[in-house]
Structures are given as structure tokens and as C-alpha cells.
């Protein structure tokens, strides 16, 4: 991939896409194709076809997706399945039709079975049933993986897939109805301190373990793989380090200096008990994460007030 290669970042306004965009610019790539969802609806087959035929990108980072936390995933199952499958079907198919040199598809660690052995190895895909609360999103992402594999098998396309663990960082979603764990807790604790609240509510009982990757590390993995990896096997991207939800809450509470109590609401589901990625494959290729969770949270907190503007 040359500095003047025509590179399309699908979803450049989202957390992952914007991190990839920042990294590419910092590395000197300048021929970047960017379209917001208002300009190009990736769910629309005709619009995507017209865009690819006109622009002819050489490389594609497919970071566009409908995403959300446990509440959004379990509430809008049909939307999560339909929107994500339409987006990836259109972009992957038109990448094939228009001779894209290489495509990188971003999936999610939720593709793995609910009770898969830990840590999660790539070969555990489709070995058991999924976590019900994010089943529709997982099915869509599994379909994207298989589409990349099958287009490689049938048409010889160099389409690769990466499965990042739970992400956080700049340009995150802080809407409590659809956000993931870290941004939700950051917002809750920030406003609790501002409002002198006595407690902060945490969904579930705090016992599940999760792994977290700063989105800038995810972007560095994507660029590394786009440059260096050309195989069919999808790859996990993560840290290989896990924290219980209670530990995450305690860390954020401490960093924000909130003095109140934690209240665990067990009326909300815990989700998957544990979700730690086996990252040995990507580590062996030469990539490792650089930003620790504690350092990453501190980085986010420096700009949290501006990030929360517009959220009520």
C-alpha cells in the first residue's frame, strides 16, 4: 500500500474508522476516500455500486457498522442483523466487482460461543451457541467473515478479517441506551461527581470479565495487517489482559475521584461470563498493543468533558 494509494475508509466518522483515518494521515497517506452516511448509505445497493464504479478504491477498511452495548443489541435485534449484513454485503461485493486490491473487514469478539474455552482462539468460531443478548450482531459479523473467506476461495480476492476485543477511546458513543461498558461508566461517574450523587448504578453483578483495547491500538493493528497479512484465517486483536466489571468500575471511580458507592443492578443481564482473546497469532506476526487500560482511561478522561457535549 503506497502513500498515494486510493484508500476508502468505510465508517470514517465512527470510533474505529476515525482512529484509522488519524493513523493513515499521520503515516503520510493522503489519497483517502471518505463519505459520511448522509452522503452514502452503505445499506443501499445502488448507491454503493455507483460509488465503487466511480471512485475505484484500491484498498478498503470496512469499519462501518451499526454498533451498541448490551441493551441496544438485545432491543434492536432485527436492525442489528439487517443493517450490518446490508453494509458488509454491499461493500464486500462491490470491492470484488471493482477489483479492490485488498479489503480489511472489522468484526467483533462477540462472534464466539457464549461458553467457549478461554482464552478465545480463532478456531472456536461456530463450535457452540452464541450469547443471546448480542446474537443478531454476532451472526452478522460471522457472515462478514465467511463472505471474505468465500470471496477469497471463489474469486481470489485478498479480503482479510480482524476481530477486535472491546474497544474504547476518542469518538466513542456515550449514549447510555446504546453505549458499551467503558463509555457508559465514564459518563455515569463523571456526571455523578458533578451532581454530588451518592452512588452510581452498574448493570449486572460486576463479576463478568472483559478485555479492553484502546481504539488507537486497534487502528495500528489494522494498518499492520493491511501491510503484512494476506491469509484466509481471521485474526483476533486484543491485549490478552482481562478485568472484571467491578475492577473497571473501581478504576474509573478512582480516576474520576468519585466518593460515592457502587450499586450493582442485577435486574440487568451480565452477558457472557468471560471474554478474553487469544492474541498469540497476531503477536507472532509482530504486532502487540501499546496502551495499557489504565493509561487509556487516563487519556480519555483528558478530553471527556468535550466528548460528552451533546449528551444529556
Nearest CA to 61 out of 86, 85, 95 is that of: 95
- Residue 14 is given by DSSP the state S
- The CA distance from 228 to 232, in Å, is 13
Name the active-site residue from 137, 151, 174, 289: 137
Please state the φ and ψ torsions of residue 209, each to the nearest 5 degrees. -105, 140
CA gap 273, 116 in Å, rounded = 10
Q: Does 137 qualify as catalytic in the annotation? A: yes
Q: Which of 82, 97, 105, 254 is nearest to 185 (CA)?
A: 254
Return the exposure string of 217-242: e unless at least 16 CB atoms fall within 10 Å of the residue's CB, then b.
bbbbbbbbbbeebeeeebbbbbbbeb
211: nearest Cα among 137, 275, 297: 275
CB 106 within 8 A of CB 222: yes
Nearest in space to 67 (alpha carbons), one of 56, 58, 59, 76 = 76
**DSSP E strands, 107-186:** 159-164, 166-168
Catalytic residue annotation: 137
Amino acid at each position: 500500500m503506497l502513500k498515494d494509494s486510493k484508500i476508502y475508509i468505510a465508517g470514517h466518522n465512527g470510533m474505529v474508522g476515525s482512529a484509522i483515518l488519524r493513523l493513515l494521515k499521520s503515516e503520510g497517506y493522503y489519497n483517502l476516500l471518505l463519505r459520511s452516511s448522509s452522503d452514502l448509505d452503505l445499506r443501499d445497493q445502488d448507491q454503493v455500486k455507483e460509488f465503487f464504479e466511480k471512485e475505484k478504491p484500491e484498498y478498503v477498511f470496512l469499519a462501518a457498522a451499526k454498533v451498541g452495548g448490551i441493551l441496544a443489541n438485545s432491543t434492536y435485534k432485527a436492525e442489528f442483523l439487517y443493517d450490518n449484513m446490508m453494509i458488509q454485503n454491499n461493500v464486500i461485493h462491490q470491492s470484488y466487482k471493482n477489483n479492490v486490491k485488498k479489503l480489511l473487514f472489522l468484526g467483533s469478539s462477540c462472534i464466539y460461543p457464549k461458553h467457549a474455552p478461554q482464552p478465545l482462539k480463532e478456531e472456536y468460531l461456530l463450535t457452540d451457541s452464541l450469547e443471546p443478548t448480542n446474537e443478531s450482531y454476532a451472526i452478522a459479523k460471522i457472515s462478514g467473515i465467511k463472505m471474505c473467506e468465500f470471496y477469497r476461495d471463489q474469486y481470489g480476492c485478498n479480503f482479510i478479517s480482524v476481530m477486535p476485543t472491546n474497544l474504547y477511546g476518542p469518538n466513542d458513543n456515550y449514549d447510555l441506551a446504546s453505549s458499551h461498558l467503558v463509555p457508559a461508566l465514564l459518563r455515569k461517574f463523571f456526571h455523578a461527581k458533578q451532581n454530588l450523587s451518592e452512588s452510581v448504578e452498574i448493570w449486572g453483578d460486576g463479576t463478568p470479565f472483559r478485555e479492553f483495547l484502546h481504539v488507537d491500538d486497534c487502528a495500528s493493528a489494522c494498518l499492520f495487517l493491511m501491510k503484512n497479512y494476506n491469509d484466509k484465517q481471521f485474526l483476533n486483536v486484543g491485549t490478552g489482559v482481562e478485568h472484571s466489571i467491578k475492577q473497571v468500575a473501581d478504576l474509573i471511580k478512582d480516576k474520576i475521584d468519585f466518593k460515592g458507592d457502587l450499586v450493582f443492578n442485577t435486574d440487568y443481564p451480565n452477558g457472557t461470563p468471560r471474554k478474553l482473546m487469544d492474541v498469540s497469532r497476531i503477536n507472532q506476526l509482530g504486532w502487540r498493543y501499546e496502551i495499557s487500560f489504565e493509561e487509556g482511561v487516563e487519556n480519555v478522561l483528558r478530553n471527556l468533558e468535550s466528548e460528552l457535549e451533546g449528551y444529556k
